[in-house]
A and B are shown apart, each in its own frame.
Chain A
Amino acid sequence: MYTKDGEDFYIVDAHIALWDAREENQRNIHGKQFIDCFYDYHRNLSPESEVWPYEEYLYQGGERLMKDVFTDGYADHAIFQPAYLHEFYKTGFGQSEEASALAAAHPDKLTYNHNFDPRNGERGLEQLHADAEKYGLKGVKLYTAEWHGDSRGWKLDDPWAYRYFEACRELGIKNIHVHKGPTIRPLDRDAFDVADVDHVATDFTDLNFIVEHVGLPRLEDFCWIATQEPNVYGGLAVAMPFIHTRPRYFAQIMGELLYWIGEDRILFSSDYAIWTPKWLVEAFVDFQIPSDMSEYAPITLEQKKKILGLNAAALYDLDVPQALRLPEADETATGPRDPSAADPDLVGAR
């Protein structure tokens, strides 16, 4: 819980990780390059006071995580979204056993989402059934740019992926988090192209597709798809820290998201341990669209409360105290959700 000026905010950090990128777990140079890339994100977009030494960045462990996310941070609940990356790390990047054990020890605070890779075929499908039971999965994190033998990526609308989504449907795994973010992998085309989200969201209307990193740097493609699919959501992982380094750019992102997908489908995430949630929550509660950017309406208190926790709580059936709940906005299921969020007299706003 975060309280500011008498207002209480129920906080859900919808995208965290417990990773191990220490040298002894790196399988090859790519393992080092991957964590170095994250560390550059961390150094480039964090306030100076929040920058960690490199050694601490490689691995945090459960105790440190609980302190950063819940004790120092204000999260009421957080959701693991592990990337496996077995071609880069010996025991994987996200630590399934450690993270799921931590979640089992703190069921009120942590939800463990696992991952799957449709390139594992039938064997992977069996594994998914086993994992769903073992972890009590409500969601999965998919990383389509994952390397796998000779393959360096897959798409959500691959035929095998459809068999996995059918399994998710049977198993009650309803929240499908998809990494679509800064371009780091694909070869041909663009593995983080968001077009495949469009296909699966249309074909699996009973599943929720949460596009992490709001499609950045494909924001416009993501927004356009999200306006047409009622079951597509935007996760703010990696977009959040722009609130510090590029507040006006962050304002534009929020303005676009509120216009196109509306206040009920945007999810706060720190992407811990890339960043810690404490300063992001504080900054977001204090944040306002700059007054000279009047092409966007101000962000309301209710919108902030929804984004910071209530929207994710709804997807994960979390028990939000009655007094903190808010009704859904009366928005259309498709099309720009809130055209009034833009000034009608300004260019292109109507």
Chain B
Amino acid sequence: MTLLSEVEERAPASVPGPPLTEAHVRGVLDVVLDPELDEPITDLGFVTSVTVTEAAVEVHLRLPTSFCSPSFAYLMASDSRDEVTALLARRDDPRALVVELDDHHDSPRINAGLAADAGYRGTFGDEAEDSLDELRMVFRRKAHTAAAERCLTGLLRLDPERAVDTLGEVRLGDLPEGHDREALVRRRAALGLPVDGDAVVLVDAEGRRPDDVPMALRRARSTRISIDGNAHFCRGLLATRYPGSEGDQAPRAEEAFVPLASLTTRPHPAKEQHR
């Protein structure tokens, strides 16, 4: 059983013929993630506008501050360009494509690099020592860690009597169907980890199981808190910088932000007395 096949891909593999609409373009941008926040740029409100004319498709992006990391900015802008380019190619659509990042301290450089399809090193020249692959991998690993923690914490909530140590034995197929499992499966697939039902959930990015399960979960929790917190910080800043942009943001599941409270369903008389 491959759980990945159950996951509904957000971007359709092929889009039926004309006319090309803004919705098609936004649809493919749904798969572009902010690497650090692990959320689609469309949900975050980072897509300012999508314009489709007879001659061209023009996409504008914006970020919460003008000093957001240029490497992350470049990743999101170039991923956006790649996705829309692929969409046009699938449709055999000859329209020109313009992707621009606005209001960033590196906007001129990034936009020129995108227009020339210069790649990361071509865009930043001598400043770019490495490719962005390793940076992207760092955040893929973190996203995987956080996704696994959400799933295992969810299990614990369903069965508060379960011993924490046993969470190291949980398989993908043991997880209830739903958003958290799908998210985990997608992140495992991105890392090349197995996605079959027998695969162990609590593994690192190389597939290794931890010696100390409770400690591994404790660390995973701080990773998840870090990512969730960043997401709220960036969303808030975007809304401050661009009044009204909060309307472009998909509501973030409350579940994802402060789920720890739900862990407290287990009766704990000693703690009650303590308080």
Contacts and interface: CB of A to CB of B under 8 A. Distances in A.
A187 interface: yes
Contacts of A260: 222
A295 interface: yes
Interface in A33-75: 33-34, 36-37, 40-41, 43-45
Interface in A223-254: 223-224, 242, 245-246, 248-249, 252-253
A263 interface: no
Contacts of B64: 40
Interface residues of B, number: 59
Given A40-B240, A219-B226, A253-B225, A347 B263 contact: yes
A220 B214 contact: no
B208 interface: no
B252 interface: no
B237 A41 contact: yes
A3 interface: no
Contact of B135 (A188, A291, A348, A350): A188
A293 B260 contact: yes
- Secondary structure of the B contact surface, majority rule: helix
A349 B214 contact: yes
B260 to A, nearest CB: 5
Interface in B252-275: 257-258, 260-261, 263-264, 266, 268, 271, 274-275
Contacts of B257: 248-249
A64 to B, nearest CB: 24
A43 B240 contact: yes
B48 interface: no
Contacts of A246: 229, 232
A184 to B, nearest CB: 3
Interface stretch (B7-15, B23-31, B66-74, B187-195): B66-74
Contacts of B219: 220, 224, 348
B51 interface: no
A256 interface: yes
B261 A290 contact: yes
A347 B217 contact: yes
B225 A182 contact: no
A219 B221 CA distance: 11
A186 B215 contact: no
A143 to B, nearest CB: 12
Contact of B124 (A187, A291, A348): A187
A40 B245 CA distance: 14
A208 to B, nearest CB: 23
A218 B230 CA distance: 9
Interface in A176-207: 182-190
Contacts of A106: none
- Secondary structure of the A contact surface, majority rule: loop
A216 interface: yes
A40 B241 contact: yes
B129 interface: yes
B42 interface: no
A136 interface: no
A111 B209 CA distance: 49
A29 B107 CA distance: 12
A186 B66 CA distance: 13
Contacts, number: 159
A189 B229 contact: no
Interface in B233-250: 233, 236-237, 239-241
B90 interface: no
A97 interface: no
B41 to A, nearest CB: 16
Contacts of B105: 29-30, 33
A150 interface: yes
B258 A249 contact: yes
Contact of A350 (B167, B214, B226, B271): B214
B218 interface: yes
Interface in A20-37: 29-30, 33-34, 36-37
Interface in A133-191: 150, 152, 182-190
A127 to B, nearest CB: 26
A159 B134 CA distance: 23
Given A30-B105, A36-B66, A217 B36 contact: yes
A190 B128 CA distance: 12
B36 A188 contact: no
A105 interface: no
A212 to B, nearest CB: 16
A302 interface: no
Interface string A275-310: 000000000000000111111011000000000000
B260 A40 contact: no
B216 to A, nearest CB: 8
Given A40-B65, A152-B127, A348 B271 contact: no
Given A37-B66, A40-B241, A219 B225 contact: yes
B210 to A, nearest CB: 11
9 contacts: A182-B65, A184-B65, A186-B70, A188-B130, A249-B258, A295-B260, A295-B263, A336-B218, A348-B164
Interface of B: 36, 64-72, 105, 124, 126-130, 134-135, 138, 152-153, 156, 164, 167, 214-223, 225-230, 232-233, 236-237, 239-241, 257-258, 260-261, 263-264, 266, 268, 271, 274-275
Given A37-B67, A256-B222, 17 more contacts: A37-B65, A184-B69, A190-B138, A219-B226, A245-B236, A248-B258, A252-B258, A290-B261, A293-B261, A294-B263, A294-B271, A295-B264, A342-B218, A347-B167, A347-B217, A348-B214, A349-B214
Q: Give the 7 A-B CB pairs with smallest separation, nearest first.
A: A348-B217, A184-B67, A348-B218, A220-B222, A33-B66, A217-B230, A44-B240
